[in-house]
Amino acid sequence: MYRPFFLALLCSTPLAAQTVPDGITGTFDRSIEACGQAPSMARVTVSSGHLDLAYGRAEVEEVERQGDAVFLRTTLREEGQVEPRAITEYYRIDAADGDRILFKRAEGEPVELIRCNTGASAGSDPALRLLYGTRAGETVTVVDREGLGGAEARIAIRHMRGDAAAYCRDYARDESEACIDEVMATVDVPDAITADCTQGQWTDPQGRRLRLGEGSDPNGTLNIVDRATGRPIGDSFAAAYPVAERAWRALCQAESAGGGRSSYAQLDLADCTVIETLSESDGATWQCDGWNGPDGTADIFVTRGDGRYDVDLGARDEAFVPGLPFNRLGETVEFRADADGELQALIVRYRYDDASRASELAVIRPARDGAASCYVALVEPGGVTGQNERAREIADTIDGRSCLPNT
């Protein structure tokens, strides 16, 4: 039968639609950091016709909207049962803002969740952060990386105000400046984490000296041994296993063993020079500072037209990236260089106005030797190694890859 909060609503007004509004579709979890890890029990993917939950899929049968609140009657098919059963379940979703929702099961407490396909709440891409603890928001920001995958891998880290703000918001539930100031004053992390990936040894943001033990699965659970004690730390949160594991993967599995290197820049069109305006489509082309390395410089050219963006590296090209819906660019771009410091590719995040489409990473080849800059790949989320790692793998093997067709 109907739960009380849904019964009153359904009796008072007719149902307005049978599909979930676009504004609250997408994948949500407790924090940006949780989004970058294996799916938690809180994670929910909201589609127009169903909800994907940790315990099964709920097919949407009826929808009612009042203000920012959306009430759903669903048929839930539970997973993990010897004899799968279909039961009626009720949910309420409140749109807190463009990136957050309050999600409530009829008999549970509301949970605040953040959209996983945007970095807006944290101020940067989750790939640029590592864990120093296992509570929500206990992160540090990556400021430089070199030699990853090799014998002298190093990631420079800093605990920044944005990290402290994420902790206060997502764990302490206190967004005051006083909370942020207190966290900034108490958190102490090393300047860098390092690894000899060839020997399976590394350090993590807690300062622990670690190594891989027997039976470690590169794509699964690692047997992590504390070199100070010679004992495995175990795979629990109490042992801060996620801190150690993510440090290892960032140092030794996020890059090719050839010693590729990433560097980052902020892409803010307000800091760029407008070199052309396109009156017919309310668009423009900007020239922005870009790569500056041992092999020279390569500016970034951004063109906006008809609600879509195109990016060229090294020289402007008239062709436009094909077939993308209305979009916007991420605020952080990643340059990939080889072991000799020569620029190989630019990685740019595309976010889409259609909330049901997850953000993608564009891998862009620079203009070189008379050939125009071009898009080599648009990398979707998912996969064993993750979206960011796959984009870097493509960038590191960009020679010989074909360009995507232009429009």
- Provide long-range contacts, Cβ within 8 A and 24+ apart, for 287-290: 287/316, 289/265, 290/265, 290/314, 290/335, 290/346
Token representation of residue 271: 């800091």
Token representation of residue 381: 């989320």
Q: How far apart are the first and last CA of the chain?
A: 54
Q: What pLDDT does residue 14 have?
A: 40
Measured CA to CA in angstroms, residue 289 lies from 270, 292, 302, 313, 370 at distances of: 12, 9, 11, 10, 21
pLDDT exceeds 50 at position 12? no
Rounded to two decimals, the pTM is 0.44
Rounded Cα distance between 104 and 94, Å, is 9
> E strands of 294-326, at which residues?
296-305, 308-313
- Most confident of the following: 102-106, 183-187, 303-307: 183-187
Domain extent listing, the chain: 4-115, 126-252, 261-396
The mean per-residue pLDDT over the stretch 183-203 comes to: 91
Residue-wise burial string across 244-280, b where 16 or more C-beta atoms lie within 10 A, e elsewhere: bbbbbbbbbbbbbeebbbbbbbebeeeebeeeeeeee
Lowest mean pLDDT among 10-19, 64-73, 75-84: 10-19
Q: Which band of pLDDT confidence, cut at 50, 70 and 90, is reported for residue 37?
A: low
The mean per-residue pLDDT over the stretch 325-350 comes to: 88
Lowest mean pLDDT among 4-8, 300-304, 384-388: 4-8
CATH of 4-115, one of 2.40.128, 1.10.10, 2.50.20, 1.10.3470: 2.40.128
The mean per-residue pLDDT over the stretch 41-59 comes to: 81
* Residue from 313, 384, 329, 376 nearest 125 by CA: 329
Q: What pLDDT does residue 127 have?
A: 46
Provide the percentage of residues in the chain whose pLDDT is more than 70: 82
The mean per-residue pLDDT over the stretch 177-185 comes to: 92
Lowest mean pLDDT among 2-11, 64-73, 173-182, 241-250: 2-11
Token representation of residue 353: 């106005």
Q: Which band of pLDDT confidence, cut at 50, 70 and 90, is reported for residue 256?
A: very low
